[in-house]
Structure 1
Amino acid sequence: MPAPASLPAQRLAAVRRHAASRRLAADLERQAAHWLAAARTFRDAGEFAALEAWRAVERDTGAPLRREMNAAVEDLIRFGESTLLLIRAAQRDPARLAEAAAAVQRFRSRYVQVDTTLDFLGDAVNSRTSPRLRAALGRLDDLAVMSMAPVLEAAGKPCPRVLVYQDKGTGASILRAGVRLWAPGAVMPVAAIKIVRHNLYRPTSLFHETGHQVAFLTGWTAAMERAIAAALADDPALRTMWVPWASEIAADVYAFLWTGYASVAALYDVVGDARTILTWPMGDPHPVGWLRTLLGCAFARLCFGPEGPWADLEEAMTARFPARRASPTLAPLLARSRAALPGIARACLDAPVPALGGRPMWALLDPARTAPGALAELERIAGPALWGSPHWFRSDGIRIVALAGLREAEKPETASLWIERARDWLTGAALAA
């Protein structure tokens, strides 16, 4: 039993511990109240995108986005409210303070995850900043769905809705429908596709990104890996190099089957950076830019014949960037890859699609429809109506993208005219006229 003289000191220590517990509990309550109040502001979608932008996507895409956002917000708010209840319980029972402090940290982390999710979705919606841009992005939404629907219908898969948004940079990207978002439990209800400004009116990259979505839903990527591996069975080093690129190659094949040579020229404009075209960054899922361009030219040669603008592009690129300028370890791989390209290209085009019963993608998407002669025939038959008729948009909208991209690539002196024509077509200005 402690000596009587020590009792006042023990009482003083207990009082101090109690006061410290009260201060800690009060501060935890203050922190949780702040994050909870901030979370409740998320209930207003106008915090993230203008009402006009939401209205522009509300019909088919905005509604599921809002539902997913609202579910994430309400789950966050419930998390915050339960954290406050735990803190108040800890005010009565200081033994639970450590548990309450850990809960506050988890709530903070969850808030950041939800904020990241809502900020991304809000920025995507809010990129529709003007009537013309809203019109263009809305038509790209439709073209993206049109590019997936025939394949996914044949595969017995539902076709997701698409939200196309404009952003900076040189290359497009996709956040696929069905992937998990930053907020726990939140799943992307639509495919969000980034289109960059310089390619907004030459949007062949849109179909590269929808190719990623289709490949994911049909099991095509794994089949592409096997096809490439078989084509390079006699060269283990090349096989090791090429097989990890299968996902991006599948998407390139998809864009090529829909838009032909236009996709190859547009791709080269992205990868033709002198600083990177002959480099192989560790872990990059994209083929070396030099090989990726040559592979696109090989697709064109196989499908359209040896002569055409693809032959000119290949000659110009290899003259400007000879393989010998690559690093000593990469240069021989580039040279051997170039020699193997006809077989690689054929294997990629013929790769079976499991969800299509093993048929290749070209069995549904005939590349002959985007051959230069076929596009010229479309231009001749439709005449001026091609650029203003809703009928031609619905029946051949993606081939119109292919035609405009081809003409821009073929005739650099008239590139501005073709971009303006495509701009008027996508924004509806041609139809209004």
Structure 2
Amino acid sequence: MTMTSIPTTAPPGGLHAVADDLQRQIAHWLAAASTFLDAEEFASEQAWRAVESQVGLPLRRHLSVIVRELLAMGRAALALAQSAQRDPSELPAAGRAIQQFRRRFSQVEVTLDFFGDAVNSRTSPQLRAALQALDTLAVQSMDPVLSRAGLPPIPVLTYLDKGMGASIIRSGIRLWAPGSINPVAAIKIVRHNLYRPTSLFHESGHQVAHITGWVPSLERSLGSALSSDRELQDMWRPWSSEIAADVFAFLHTGYASITALYDVVGDARTILRWPVGDPHPIGYLRTLLGCAFCRQAFGAGPWDDLESAMRTSFPLDRADATVRRLVERSGRALSGVADACLTSPVPALAGRPMTSVIDPARVAPGALGQLERTAGPNLWVSPHWRRTEGIRIVALAGLREGERPADATAWIERARTWMTAPPTAA
């Protein structure tokens, strides 16, 4: 017997027992829901304090509204249960209300647990400093585009998790709790890329691409670039969202974004595979496209060696015959594809390309070398350089790691020290 089909013609003793049990059930779920009012049920006070005020305060206010709406729903169910003790005809409605409250409880719990885990990933002073830095860098990456498009800034909450690739829950999308809209961009950073966080800009690129209408425009540009080959059009156009995010990361961090990407996709088991429905380009092509971006923007450079290493390590004859033919044809079209990606109009920018706001020349090896010479050793310790050139510092560290393999360990450690320095001493 379900709570939505409670008979009202049962013996009086049975109906009374059902009414009592409904009141007991709702008391249990209300008591459990009341613990949600304390944010420290999900993350420590220290962790909440580590979240910047422009992120933590609106997020906690938003979560508080969700919880209070849940409690109001529970109190309404309790009133129905109490009424059912006096009037058995109310039992079915009370039963339905309690079932709905149970389901809403679970949805709210998932929402709170997600943000609690995200905030609680700031488990040490070093991690708190690194994730606070990433919050700031992600906002800085989006602000110029949003400002030019006349759109408000978007707060960011970064968090640490396991896995190979980063991800984002975009600001403005519906959360698990019905009617709840995400007030922040929640970006997952994985451990192996925490101190080489070019993936941060891939994820912030997803946010920007979504709200500026860039993805449909890029899809059309890819279609035009591949107009002579329908099969390639059908392959490349569904990848537009991920390619837009790759472009955004490249414009901010240059070659560093390509080496970091290759470290993610360079798995011998998958780099030449094309899973059905995967929105990401084939790893091999994704890397080739990144190298093509570098050639288009910077000319010759270390990306040519990276491409040669990949081609040698993963010969195309290992790919499925169909994939191999498409990859070979794509390779011949890559220059045009790269140009289409970098020049695709962005509707929210009045049809200008993303490069009109984020100039890739700023992260060319020569420009990053000039930054390094101008700032000298202060680049890695000065609050001024951290505040004004934080994104280019990430690009520089990644460039040096990629182009100087013998010194890569030293550059990785330098980036880690810079990322984990307390903001006041950075």
TM-score range (shorter-chain normalised) is over 0.9
Q: 1:414 maps to which residue?
A: 407
Match of 2:235 among 230, 241, 244: 241
Q: What secondary structure, in the 3-state scheme, does the structure 2 residue paired with 1:276 have?
A: coil
Q: 2:385 aligns with which of 381, 389, 392?
A: 392
Moved runs in structure 1, 4+ residues, more than 6 A?
Answer: none
1:34 matched to 2:28? The reply is yes
Equivalent residue, structure 1, for 2:264: 270
In the TM superposition, residue 415 of structure 1 has moved relative to its aligned partner by 1.8
- Bigger-Rg structure (1/2): 1
Tell me, yes or no, if the aligned pair for 2:52 and 2:132 is still in contact at 8 Å: no
Aligned equivalents of 1:429, 1:344: Cα separation in 2: 42
Name 1:348's counterpart in structure 2. Answer: 341
Deviation at 1:227, TM superposition (A): 0.6
In the alignment, the residues of structure 1 paired with residue 16 and residue 343 of structure 2 have an alpha-carbon distance, to the nearest angstrom, of 71
Identity of aligned residues (%): 63
5+ unaligned residues in a row in structure 2: which ranges? 1-7
Out of 64, 68, 71, which is 1:74 matched to?
A: 68
Root-mean-square deviation (Å): 1.6
Q: Please give the residue correspondences for 1:125-140 in structure 2 after superposition, counting only pairs within 5 Å.
A: 125-140=119-134
- Counterpart in 1 of 2:329? 336
Write out per-residue CA displacement over residues 59-116 of structure 1, whole angstroms, 9 at most, x where no aligned residue. Answer: 2110001011100000000111111111222222323322222221111110010000
1:58 is displaced (CA, Å) by 4.7
- Once residues 294 and 14 of structure 2 are traced to their aligned partners in structure 1, the CA distance between those partners, rounded to angstroms, is 74
Q: State yes or no: 1:382 paired with 2:375.
A: yes
Aligned residue number for residue 285 of structure 1: 279
Which residue number corresponds to residue 102 of structure 1?
Answer: 96
Determine whether 1:145 maps to 2:102.
no
When the two structures are superposed, what TM-score results if normalisation uses the length of structure 2? 0.95
Q: Identify which range, 418-427 or 202-211, moves more after superposition.
A: 418-427
**Matched ranges for 1:164-179 at <5 A:** 164-179=158-173
The structural deviation recorded for 1:431 is: 7.5
Paired residues of 1:245 and 1:285 also in contact (CA < 8 A): yes
Gaps of 5+ in 1: 1-13
Q: Is the 8 A contact 1:388 1:431 kept in 2?
A: no
* 1:226 match: 220
Per-residue deviation, 1:29: 1.8
1:228 is displaced (CA, Å) by: 0.7
Structure 2 Cα separation of the partners of residues 150 and 16 of structure 1: 68
Partner amino acid for 2:157?
Answer: L
CA distances 1:208-227 after superposition (whole Å, capped 9, x unpaired): 11111111121111111111
Q: Is the 2:149–2:348 Cα contact (8 Å) retained in structure 1?
A: yes
Report the Cα distance in structure 2 between the residues aligned to 1:396 and 1:15, rounded to whole angstroms.
75
Is 1:261–1:406's contact at 8 Å kept on the other side of the alignment? Answer: yes
In the alignment, structure 1 residue 90 sits paired with structure 2 residue 110: no
Which residue, out of 180, 194, 201, partners 2:188?
Answer: 194
Q: Distance in 2 between matches of 1:322 and 1:58?
A: 47
| Paired residue total | 419
Q: Contact (CA 8 Å) 1:144, 1:206: kept in 2 or not?
A: yes
What TM-score, normalized by structure 1, do the two folds share?
Answer: 0.94
Q: Which residue number in structure 1 is paired with residue 319 of structure 2? A: 326
Amino acid at match of 1:50: S
Distance in 1, matches of 2:258 and 2:293, equals: 9
Secondary structure class of the residue paired with 1:57: coil
**Matches of 1:430 and 1:116, distance apart in 2:** 32
